[in-house]
Chains A and B, each alone.
Chain A
Amino acid sequence: MKSFFIDLSRCIGCRGCQVACKQWHKLPAEKTANWGSYQNPRDLSFNTYKLVRFEDQVVNGKVEWLFFPEQCRHCIDAPCKMVGDMYDDKAILRDESTGAIIYTQRTKNLPFEEIKGACPYNIPRLNPKTKVISKCDMCLDRVENGMLPACVKTCPTGAMNFGEREDMLKLADTRLKEVKAEYPQAGLVDKDFVKVIYLSRFEPKLYYEFMYAENRPRNLMNRQQMLARMFRPFKEVIDSA
């Protein structure tokens, strides 16, 4: 199983990853306007799988500029897939060898709001014309040919890392120790649930509302709710028996 380790103590917000993703997938650029930030596009979309978010913060009286190169987490037990499987288990796939969560053309028949609502990180995006849902695909075509994902390949500082999960977890633990010496609030975000592990210097909520999966306000089912929903048809049958 593969994983990403994204070391935000090394990210300089250059946007190489954002552009490399666009270039590799030949995704069209969106028409954007400056909304008062270096960040653009403003949000992920069906044409923007990787987005560097910028956030000014003041932490302990000190100015900080936080960069968050956001992408799909390729969750180990992906809630979007759990919901998708209820409707069509061939729409959202999990690649056997890498664990990549892949959205196929068949996602156009899934109820988008439910898929999006299932994701704790607010990642899935709809193409309003074709109704296909899209997101990061782990550059599976590159990875299967022995190459790194485009965003990882282009990163100049070593913020982006990719490889076998055990290796990435080892690297993450080593780096966390080193970074914590300087930033006591550093942490590995949702490490055990995702295949894209961010090392944040500060509390995740300072970077972005949906950086982490705790305390989701709405539209998110926890695992129990999800399982309950999955079994609902059977429960109805049993109850009516």
Chain B
Amino acid sequence: MTNHWIDIKNSNAVLVMGSNPASNHPVSFKWIEKARENGGKLISVDPRFTQTSSRSDIYAPLRFGTDVAFLGGMIKYILDNDLYFKQYVRDYTNATFIVGEDYAFNDGVFSGFKKRTDDSHYGGKYDKDLWQFELDADGVPKRDMSMQHPRCVFNLLKKHYQGYTLEKVSQTTGTPVKDLRTVYENFASTGKADRAGTIMYAMGWTQHSTGVQNIRAMAMIQLLLGNIGVAGGGVNALRGESNVQGSTDHCLLWHILPGYLKTPRASQSTLDEYNKAYTPVSNDPKSANWWNNYPKYSVSLLKSMYPDVDKDKAYKWLPKVDDGRTYSWLEMFDYMHEGQFKGFFAWGQNPCCSSANASKAREALSKLDWMVNVNLFDNETGSFWKGPDMDPSKIKTEVFFLPCSAFLEKEGSITNSGRWMQWRYQGPKPYATTKSDGHIICELMSRLRWLYRNKDGKFPEPVLNLGYHLWQDSHGYNAQKIAKLINGFFLKDTEVNGKKFKKGQQVPSFAYLTDDGATCSGNWLYCNSYTDQGNMAARRNKKQTKMQANIGLYPNWSWCWPVNRRILYNRASVDMQGQPWNPKYPVIRWTGEKWVGDVPDGGWAPGSKHPFIMRKHGFGQIFGPGRADGPFPVHYEARETPVKENFFSKKLRNPVAMWFKDEEFAVADPKYPYVCSTYRVSVHWQTGLMTRHMDWLLEAQPQMFVEISKELAGQLNVASGDKVTVESIRGSVWAVAVVTERLRPLKVMDKEVHQVGLPWHYGWQFPRDGSGGDSANLLTPSVGDPNTGIPETKTFMVNVRKA
């Protein structure tokens, strides 16, 4: 989130789309209710009428996977009706930038498109050099402050969304025109200086082949309306796991290193080459261009791993990825399916139920030599060879199960959706012989080091020189020591920015990290979280100033990154004189001498730096030249779709999305006529691995079900409570029909389209009698977003029939 949970209460319009907070983040609903008490409106846009919809002021239905069309219509509405925040757009976004002549959008593709010719996992690729801005002699983007130039971003934006009329959007999304108008009018009313609108989204937006463009479209809307950096505004992802924000910050994904640094490529053979490639340079004195500090963060990370090794040598020991390749989840399972992996750690996950195209994942495991499953309970992955459609006699995989502790039994932090790092102390000691993940890692590492040392391990230096002693004390893994290492400390006496530090002192904030090897930090974003004053994440103090209390900032409760700044980009919440746009809910304010309120996004005087300090040029990106599938979102149909036509693009579907060449998809296929999606319920969580073992939770939601409309139930002759079969090209599951008013067929391009949905919380392994059902992911496709590889599990085509 750019903002945080409590801040929702400050909003005049809470748009909930691609998520269902009442069901899946019930505690957050408290803050939504507070927003409504203060006169704010809750707007629920969802294919189903959900628990959130039941509490909303405005509800509008839409077809799964058509969010870009819906949002594109909102952009057009905002522009046509002059509802954007003019000063903000002109001064804080790249609306005034002039795009080069090579940029174009024709026939459904942007300029620079090349179709796939080889074994690439993507349908095509763009040459993004064709989308760059016109620069002046200093390399600073040219700006047309009058926004009249035909190629200024503002006019290109207008042109791009010209076709997203209410009628065309309605025919695509199935949302009645009057509902579109109501939603647009209400949300766009937050374009005024003293009004703010927020968006709460989750996997209903991200898990699509256009997932990133869904988020982009909303970010653009929020920039147009002046809603970034202000209280009650922002772009707010509801994370689906209590610490997944922590896991993304510490960069478990293949393409990033802790603190969102980049994983090095094979061609970047030296530290200097690597740093140069990723350190942006700006000649605009008003652009803070904060990523120009990149080398300080990368070197400090290297020193946290290898405190006693020269930084350049340590860099050479980092694993590299091949140039031009990606290694995301779907690709990994594709390789595994081809027998390309010897071993696999399924650590704290259940891919046999969570992976899109789950049967492909299940088969893939059978090609491994060995697998280690670390989890609380046995599950569909740990016992994959016993699953349905598996013949154990043909499977050679040796499986190890390491039972681990639950969250209550461990000390450590979790970072919530609002970036708040909250320390947790150990509750009960780990049950029986279970161990915490940290202990398991340290013991594994200890054994590996012994083997490398004593059994002639090849290239032992990167393993043996790790600063392993910093992770533990005499009892083993120590979370507090790790937290201190993540913050970072001085490896020698030194002076930074005129301040003297001694070896061993914690680094007070990332402003004091250096690129010469004097500092170590396991994650620059978390530098400031564990200082010489102590563990900031463990603070539970409700003290705040009146200005902070007014917006529910709670700056002394836990700690958030970066440097405890609770609302990101807050320099955009004030005018060039440092005075808040909204006097009712100010975030920061310049007193004439200093900033008060939240931690300002850089302490510089007002008007001296552009507010979006993490972007090279310093402006909010309405035109986004860095995305793999284009600088403006385009409505593309999902890989599997009920329609053959697309009003907004000559290309029906995302031409550069990830999909595997030999796999089939249902497009306007009469065998699979219904649009399907997956979602969650309050009483189960993720694949249900933990919750299916909780008696009272299984009691409350015992079985796989599919929600279908009364109209469809009538056509299929299915009554509520009947078992049905739901099948896609990839697989089928049984489910109990929940026939409901809350789903209605939609009119899409003059055709009646039915939608159905299932939860993905069940698996064959437990309950042992199989009464729970199996994973909805047996139906979903291995199709991915081109920027992230995230699987398209939220829109696919199925058939439903009586069992």
Q: Is the CB of B696 within 8 A of A19?
A: yes
Q: Closest CB of chain B to A109's CB: distance in Å?
A: 30
Q: Is the CB of B696 within 8 A of A65?
A: no
Render B700-724 as a binary contact track against A, CB cut-off 8 A, 1 for contact. Answer: 1111110000000000000111100
> How far apart sit A10 and B53, CA to CA, in the bound complex (Å)?
13
Given A15-B683, A29-B698, A29-B699, are A35 and B721 also a contact pair (CB < 8 Å)?
Answer: yes
Q: Is the CB of B30 within 8 A of A34?
A: no
Given A12-B22, A56-B742, A156-B30, are A34 and B699 also a contact pair (CB < 8 Å)?
Answer: no
Render A23-52 as a binary contact track against B, CB cut-off 8 A, 1 for contact. Answer: 100001111111111101100000000000
Q: List 13 A-B contacts (CB under 8 A).
A: A16-B682, A19-B683, A29-B698, A32-B698, A35-B720, A35-B736, A36-B737, A58-B741, A65-B742, A67-B54, A156-B26, A156-B27, A158-B30
Given A19-B696, A34-B736, are A40 and B54 also a contact pair (CB < 8 Å)?
Answer: no
Q: Kindly state whether residue B349 has any CB partner on chain A within 8 Å.
A: no
* A56 nearest in chain B by CB position: B741
Which residues from chain B contact A28 at a C-beta distance below 8 Å?
A: 695
Q: Is the CB of A38 within 8 A of B695?
A: no
Q: Kindly state whether residue B128 has any CB partner on chain A within 8 Å.
A: no
Which of B27, B30, B682, B720 interacts with A15 by CB under 8 Å?
Answer: B682
Which of B26, B54, B696, B736 interacts with A36 by CB under 8 Å?
Answer: B736
Q: Kindly state whether residue A131 has any CB partner on chain B within 8 Å.
A: no
Q: Kindly state whether residue B575 has any CB partner on chain A within 8 Å.
A: no
Which residues from chain B contact A32 at a C-beta distance below 8 Å?
A: 698-700, 702
Given A12-B26, A157-B30, are A36 and B695 also a contact pair (CB < 8 Å)?
Answer: no
The 8 A-B residue pairs whose C-beta atoms are closest, nearest first, are A36-B720, A29-B695, A36-B721, A29-B699, A12-B22, A34-B736, A14-B26, A65-B54
Which of B27, B33, B699, B771 interacts with A41 by CB under 8 Å?
Answer: B699
Beyond A22-B699, A28-B695: 11 further Cβ-contacts under 8 Å? Answer: A14-B23, A15-B683, A16-B682, A22-B696, A29-B695, A33-B702, A36-B719, A37-B720, A67-B51, A157-B26, A158-B30
Q: Closest CB of chain B to A81's CB: distance in Å?
A: 29
Q: Kindly state whether residue B740 has any CB partner on chain A within 8 Å.
A: yes
Q: Is the CB of A33 within 8 A of B771?
A: yes
> How far apart sit A22 and B742, CA to CA, in the bound complex (Å)?
29
Which of B33, B53, B682, B699 interacts with A65 by CB under 8 Å?
Answer: B53
Render B40-80 as a binary contact track against A, CB cut-off 8 A, 1 for contact. Answer: 00000000011111110001000000000000000000000
Q: Is the CB of A12 within 8 A of B699?
A: no
How many residue pairs between the two chains, A and B, have CB atoms under 8 Å in the bound complex?
106
> How far apart sit A183 and B30, CA to CA, in the bound complex (Å)?
20
> How far apart sit A33 and B142, CA to CA, in the bound complex (Å)?
65
Please provide the chain B residues from 25 to 44 with a CB less than 8 Å away from any CB of chain A in the complex.
26-27, 29-30, 33
Q: Is the CB of A38 within 8 A of B701?
A: yes
> How far apart sit A213 and B46, CA to CA, in the bound complex (Å)?
37
Given A40-B699, A157-B33, are A34 and B721 also a contact pair (CB < 8 Å)?
Answer: yes
Which residues from chain A contact B59 at a C-beta distance below 8 Å?
A: 63
Interface-centre pick from B701, B702, B720 (highest chain A CB count, 10 A): B702
Q: Is the CB of A19 within 8 A of B737?
A: no
Interface-centre pick from B52, B55, B703, B704 (highest chain A CB count, 10 A): B55
Q: Is the CB of B30 within 8 A of A38?
A: no
Q: Kindly state whether residue A64 has any CB partner on chain B within 8 Å.
A: yes
Which residues from chain A contact B740 at a C-beta distance below 8 Å?
A: 56
Q: Is the CB of A65 within 8 A of B51?
A: yes
Q: Kindly state whether residue B681 has any CB partner on chain A within 8 Å.
A: yes
Given A41-B699, A157-B30, A157-B33, are A13 and B51 also a contact pair (CB < 8 Å)?
Answer: yes
Which residues from chain A contact B27 at a C-beta distance below 8 Å?
A: 156
Which residues from chain B contact A33 at a C-beta distance below 8 Å?
A: 702-703, 736, 771
> How far apart sit A120 and B774, CA to CA, in the bound complex (Å)?
42
Q: Kindly state whether residue A107 has any CB partner on chain B within 8 Å.
A: no
Q: Is the CB of B703 within 8 A of A34?
A: yes
Q: Closest CB of chain B to A236's CB: distance in Å?
A: 48
Which residues from chain B contact A157 at a C-beta distance below 8 Å?
A: 26, 29-30, 33
Q: Closest CB of chain B to A32's CB: distance in Å?
A: 5
Measured as residues with beta carbon below 8 angstroms from the partner, the interface class of chain A is: 20 to 34
Measured as residues with beta carbon below 8 angstroms from the partner, the interface class of chain B is: 35 or more
Q: Is the CB of B742 within 8 A of A12?
A: no
Q: Is the CB of A40 within 8 A of B29?
A: no
Q: Kindly state whether residue A18 has any CB partner on chain B within 8 Å.
A: yes
Which residues from chain A contact B365 at a C-beta distance below 8 Å?
A: none
Q: Is the CB of A40 within 8 A of B696?
A: no
* B704 nearest in chain A by CB position: A34
> How far apart sit A37 and B705, CA to CA, in the bound complex (Å)?
9
Q: Is the CB of B696 within 8 A of A29?
A: yes
Q: Closest CB of chain A to B670's CB: distance in Å?
A: 28
Q: Closest CB of chain A to B288's CB: distance in Å?
A: 39
Which residues from chain A contact B6 at a C-beta distance below 8 Å?
A: none
Q: Kindly state whether residue B156 has any CB partner on chain A within 8 Å.
A: no
Which of B54, B681, B739 interacts with A64 by CB under 8 Å?
Answer: B54
Which residues from chain B contact A13 at a C-beta distance below 8 Å?
A: 22, 51, 54, 682
* B24 nearest in chain A by CB position: A14
Q: Closest CB of chain B to A134's CB: distance in Å?
A: 17
> How far apart sit A182 and B107, CA to CA, in the bound complex (Å)?
48
Given A12-B26, A65-B54, A158-B33, are A18 and B741 also a contact pair (CB < 8 Å)?
Answer: no
Which of A29, A41, A65, A67 interacts with B49 by CB under 8 Å?
Answer: A65
Given A29-B698, A34-B721, are A14 and B30 also a contact pair (CB < 8 Å)?
Answer: no
Q: Kindly state whether residue B346 has any CB partner on chain A within 8 Å.
A: no
Q: Kindly state whether residue B738 has any CB partner on chain A within 8 Å.
A: yes
Which residues from chain A contact B29 at a C-beta distance below 8 Å?
A: 12, 156-157
Q: Closest CB of chain A to B771's CB: distance in Å?
A: 7
> How far apart sit A35 and B719, CA to CA, in the bound complex (Å)?
10
Q: Kindly state whether residue B697 has any CB partner on chain A within 8 Å.
A: yes
* B705 nearest in chain A by CB position: A34
* B683 nearest in chain A by CB position: A15
Given A19-B696, A58-B741, A65-B49, are A40 and B30 also a contact pair (CB < 8 Å)?
Answer: no
> How far apart sit A36 and B722, CA to CA, in the bound complex (Å)?
7
Which residues from chain B contact A29 at a C-beta distance below 8 Å?
A: 695-696, 698-699
Interface-centre pick from A18, A30, A58, A65 (highest chain B CB count, 10 A): A65
Q: Is the CB of A40 within 8 A of B49?
A: no
Q: Closest CB of chain B to A68's CB: distance in Å?
A: 12
Q: Closest CB of chain A to B74's CB: distance in Å?
A: 23
> How far apart sit A75 and B61, CA to CA, in the bound complex (Å)?
42
Which of A12, A18, A36 interacts with B738 by CB under 8 Å?
Answer: A36
Which residues from chain B contact A37 at a C-beta distance below 8 Å?
A: 720, 738
Q: Closest CB of chain A to B416's CB: distance in Å?
A: 15
> How far apart sit A37 and B704, CA to CA, in the bound complex (Å)?
11
Please provide the chain B residues from 765 to 782 with a CB less than 8 Å away from any CB of chain A in the complex.
771
Q: Closest CB of chain B to A69's CB: distance in Å?
A: 12
Render B560-596 as a binary contact track against A, CB cut-off 8 A, 1 for contact. Answer: 0000000000000000000000000000000000000
Which residues from chain B contact A67 at a C-beta distance below 8 Å?
A: 51, 54
Q: Is the CB of B738 within 8 A of A63?
A: no
Interface-centre pick from B33, B699, B721 (highest chain A CB count, 10 A): B699
Q: Is the CB of B49 within 8 A of A63?
A: yes
Which residues from chain A contact B742 at a C-beta distance below 8 Å?
A: 56, 63, 65
* B723 nearest in chain A by CB position: A34
Which residues from chain B contact A12 at a C-beta distance below 8 Å?
A: 22-23, 26, 29, 51-52, 54-55
